[in-house]
Amino acid sequence: MRLDNCPAPAKLNLFLHVTGRRADGYHLLQTAFQLIDRCDYLDVEVRADGQICRTNEIEGVPADSDLIVRAARLLQSHTGSKLGANLTLRKNLPMGGGLGGGSSDAATTLLALNHLWQTGVQRDELTKLALQLGADVPFFLFGTNAFAEGVGEELQVLHTPDVWFVVLEPGVQVPTPAIFSAKELTRGTNPVRIADFSSDAKHNWKNDLQTVACALFPQVDAAIQWLSQYGDAKMTGSGACVFCAFADETAADTVLKQVPDRWTSWKAKALSSHPMAQKLGSKNIWLEASLTLK
């Protein structure tokens, strides 16, 4: 049994506020997660011998520390499954870009193996399991765009505009710990409500991590400054990628043609739901939760 071309979509943080810090050092956040149609892709083949194997090399990521391998082993341990898997990951999303690529890869691994191994883990249980892999992983199991709080695991359904994005890769990897540990980071932004964000699309919702990242990595600042001439450009996550929304694909294409050659750039369409839902069809774990999500 196998599933090929399983999508692991990127996310953008439409805003990201740091509202405090817990006693254990984790930061309290508020953010709006937006799924986009730029994806990594995962091929998953079931093994009968219980071994979890990544079949291809990924530069800078040893197999044992790869989130897809860790996710597979976590689900295997949690469920007691005797089956294993061959995992082949095709990366399109840059590492250290703030697009959630590793977290999304892990979530897609959990979704694919939960289906192929027939372990029957429901969404809520799978989400709690996923939090062990990283704060962003639960979002990619949520199934739709979300308003997030806590360390990113408290999620509410968020309806977002049907827009296109231009994304710039500034050519640097931004290490998340360096941003969150910076003494200059603002940690006291006043909390907002989901209704505030949903009803005030013109408000300049900011990314509290952006100022720190721009100071440490001038390449990020340069990309924001350039893209800002076309709209409200901002950094996603802890960086380094920069994005700006456009009403339609034509407008996005017009800006893409102007991007200087020193940056990798691409366009992406906003998604309203996770593309694995269609891939899994009637076995989709989100179907049972659909009444809650709507």
d(CA 21, CA 25): 6
- AA identity, residue 162: D
Q: Which strands sit side by side in the sheet containing 264-269, from one edge to the other?
A: 234-235, 242-246, 164-169, 264-269
**Both tokens of residue 41?**
């892709």
Quick check: is 136 catalytic?
yes
**Both tokens of residue 67?**
């989130």
Distances (CA, A) of 102 to 24, 91, 191, 233: 24, 10, 28, 24
250 Rama sector, left if φ>0, alpha if ψ -120 to 50, beta otherwise: alpha
Out of 66, 105, 136, 208, which one is annotated catalytic?
136
Pairing mode of beta strands 146-149, 84-90? unpaired
Quick check: is 105 catalytic?
no
Out of 11, 234, 267, 279, which one is annotated catalytic?
11
Other residues' Cβ atoms within 10 Å of the Cβ of residue 127: 21
- AA identity, residue 17: H
Q: Which residues are catalytic?
A: 11, 136
